[in-house]
Protein backbone atom coordinates (compact mmCIF):
# COMPACT_ATOMS: atom_id res chain seq x y z
CA UNK A 1 0.00 0.00 0.00
CA UNK A 2 2.90 2.35 0.72
CA UNK A 3 4.23 1.80 -2.81
CA UNK A 4 0.88 2.85 -4.25
CA UNK A 5 0.78 5.97 -2.08
CA UNK A 6 4.38 6.86 -2.98
CA UNK A 7 3.59 6.44 -6.67
CA UNK A 8 0.45 8.59 -6.34
CA UNK A 9 2.46 11.32 -4.61
CA UNK A 10 5.14 11.17 -7.29
CA UNK A 11 2.55 11.35 -10.12
CA UNK A 12 -0.32 13.49 -8.80
CA UNK A 13 -1.92 14.35 -12.15
CA UNK A 14 -1.86 10.79 -13.43
CA UNK A 15 -3.25 9.40 -10.18
CA UNK A 16 -5.97 12.08 -10.18
CA UNK A 17 -6.84 11.09 -13.75
CA UNK A 18 -7.14 7.42 -12.77
CA UNK A 19 -9.29 8.11 -9.72
CA UNK A 20 -11.53 10.63 -11.51
CA UNK A 21 -11.83 8.36 -14.54
CA UNK A 22 -12.84 5.38 -12.43
CA UNK A 23 -15.41 7.46 -10.56
CA UNK A 24 -16.87 8.92 -13.73
CA UNK A 25 -17.04 5.52 -15.44
CA UNK A 26 -18.80 4.08 -12.38
CA UNK A 27 -21.39 6.87 -12.46
CA UNK A 28 -21.91 6.54 -16.22
CA UNK A 29 -22.24 2.76 -15.97
CA UNK A 30 -24.76 3.07 -13.16
CA UNK A 31 -26.85 5.69 -14.93
CA UNK A 32 -26.74 4.04 -18.37
CA UNK A 33 -27.28 0.46 -17.22
CA UNK A 34 -30.89 0.27 -18.49
CA UNK A 35 -30.42 2.21 -21.73
CA UNK A 36 -29.67 -0.87 -23.82
CA UNK A 37 -26.31 0.13 -25.27
CA UNK A 38 -24.40 -2.28 -27.48
CA UNK A 39 -20.88 -3.43 -26.60
CA UNK A 40 -19.25 -1.00 -29.03
CA UNK A 41 -21.31 1.84 -27.65
CA UNK A 42 -20.26 0.97 -24.10
CA UNK A 43 -16.61 0.93 -25.14
CA UNK A 44 -16.94 4.29 -26.88
CA UNK A 45 -18.75 5.76 -23.87
CA UNK A 46 -16.09 4.53 -21.45
CA UNK A 47 -13.23 5.79 -23.63
CA UNK A 48 -14.88 9.19 -24.02
CA UNK A 49 -15.49 9.38 -20.27
CA UNK A 50 -11.87 8.57 -19.43
CA UNK A 51 -10.66 11.17 -21.94
CA UNK A 52 -12.96 13.79 -20.43
CA UNK A 53 -11.58 12.94 -16.98
CA UNK A 54 -8.05 13.46 -18.29
CA UNK A 55 -9.05 16.76 -19.84
CA UNK A 56 -10.54 17.89 -16.52
CA UNK A 57 -7.35 17.05 -14.63
CA UNK A 58 -5.27 18.79 -17.29
CA UNK A 59 -7.38 21.97 -17.13
CA UNK A 60 -7.33 22.00 -13.34
CA UNK A 61 -3.55 21.59 -13.51
CA UNK A 62 -3.19 24.85 -15.44
CA UNK A 63 -3.49 26.78 -12.20
CA UNK A 64 -0.75 24.69 -10.58
CA UNK A 65 1.52 25.29 -13.56
CA UNK A 66 0.93 29.05 -13.37
CA UNK A 67 1.78 29.09 -9.67
CA UNK A 68 5.01 27.14 -10.29
CA UNK A 69 6.01 29.58 -13.05
CA UNK A 70 5.32 32.56 -10.77
CA UNK A 71 7.43 31.03 -7.99
CA UNK A 72 10.28 30.35 -10.43
CA UNK A 73 10.16 33.92 -11.73
CA UNK A 74 10.12 35.28 -8.19
CA UNK A 75 13.14 33.17 -7.28
CA UNK A 76 15.04 34.43 -10.32
CA UNK A 77 14.29 38.05 -9.40
CA UNK A 78 15.33 37.45 -5.80
CA UNK A 79 18.65 36.00 -6.94
CA UNK A 80 19.23 38.97 -9.23
CA UNK A 81 19.14 36.96 -12.45
Find, among 20, 15, 23, 21, the residue nearest to 4 by Cα.
15
At residue 43, the pLDDT reads 97
At residue 76, the pLDDT reads 72
User: For residue range 49-66, what is the model confidence (pLDDT) as tens digits?
Assistant: 999 999 999 999 888 777
Find, among 51, 65, 57, 48, the residue nearest to 12 by Cα.
57
Amino acid sequence: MNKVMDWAKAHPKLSAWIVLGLGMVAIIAYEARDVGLLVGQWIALIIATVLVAGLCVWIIGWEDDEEENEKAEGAKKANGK
